[in-house]
């Protein structure tokens, strides 16, 4: 199996995936930003990189078409979003149904969208976390592959909570992609994820 990883910035999840020695080929790391810090790390690890800048396109549809063309050039089995900060069109998402995976810094379906840690702190929830899921046109609502929970502590700030969650992101994302590449994951008729070993 082979994967491409899409990033927009820091790329710490991408780094965790690269370090995990997954049972698949990492065909490329693609960014929508030329200056994404993660690109340098990928290059140093001998991974091919590409940039498709959203600024070069007048609308989402034409950007997504260019992005899809670049992705397809690498013929990946899975497309892994790792801090990729662009909303993708329905056409793009449908084209990669069952192949497009994202990590989100909350326990979905709670706190889809942005500023998840600040919102969790504001609400005073005592448990927070992260979710790896398949991407569907419904933003942050696709079939869940794996989640990890962390406690919210009384002295937490957005920064300390984000760091605790990120630690778990770096653990569960490689786990999820490993399962995918080992064919351990199935989407059932209801669009829910079944892990073979739990069948």
Q: Which residues are marked as active site?
A: 104
Query: ∠ CA(96), CA(28), CA(195), 5° rounding?
Result: 50
Three-class secondary structure of residue 54 per DSSP: helix
Pick the piece of the chain touching ligand GRF (CB under 6 A) from 2-10, 26-34, 121-129, 134-142: 2-10
Binding pattern to ligand GRF, positions 4-23, x when CB under 6 A?
---x-xxxxx----------
The 78-81 sheet, strands edge to edge: 49-51, 25-31, 2-7, 78-81, 100-104, 127-134, 144-151
Query: What is the contact mask toward ligand GRF in residues 79 to 108, using x (rule: CB under 6 A)?
Result: ---xx-------------------xxx---
| Residue 133 is a binding residue for ligand GRF (CB under 6 A) | no
User: Total residues at the site for ligand GRF (CB under 6 A)?
Assistant: 13
Of 158 and 194, CB closest to ligand GRF: 158
87 is in an annotated binding site: yes
Q: How far apart are CA 38 and CA 34, in angstroms?
A: 10
Least Å from the CB of residue 69 to ligand GRF:
24
3-class SS of residue 180? helix
> CA 183 → CA 53, 143, 179, 188, distances in Å?
33, 16, 6, 14
Q: Which one, 9 or 142, has the nearer CB to ligand GRF?
A: 9
Pick from 174, 175, 156: nearest CA to 12: 174
| Residues near ligand GRF (CB under 6 A) | 7, 9-13, 82-83, 103-105, 166, 169
């Amino acid at each position: 199996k082979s994967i491409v990883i899409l990033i927009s910035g820091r790329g710490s999840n991408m780094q965790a995936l690269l370090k995990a020695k997954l049972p698949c080929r990492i065909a490329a790391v693609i960014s929508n930003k030329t200056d994404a810090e993660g690109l340098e790390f990928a290059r140093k690890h001998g991974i091919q990189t590409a940039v498709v800048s959203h600024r070069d396109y007048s609308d989402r549809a034409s950007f997504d078409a260019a992005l899809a063309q670049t992705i397809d050039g690498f013929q990946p089995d899975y497309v892994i979003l790792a801090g990729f900060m662009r909303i993708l069109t329905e056409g793009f998402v449908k084209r990669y149904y069952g192949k497009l995976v994202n990590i989100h810094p909350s326990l979905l379906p709670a706190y889809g969208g942005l500023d998840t840690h600040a919102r969790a702190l504001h609400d005073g929830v005592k448990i927070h976390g992260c979710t790896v899921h398949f991407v569907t046109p419904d933003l942050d609502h696709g079939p869940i592959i794996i989640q990890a929970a962390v406690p919210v502590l009384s002295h937490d700030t957005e920064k300390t909570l984000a760091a605790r969650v990120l630690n778990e992101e770096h653990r569960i994302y490689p786990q999820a992609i490993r399962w995918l590449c080992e064919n351990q994951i199935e989407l059932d008729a209801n669009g829910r994820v079944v892990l073979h070993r739990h069948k």
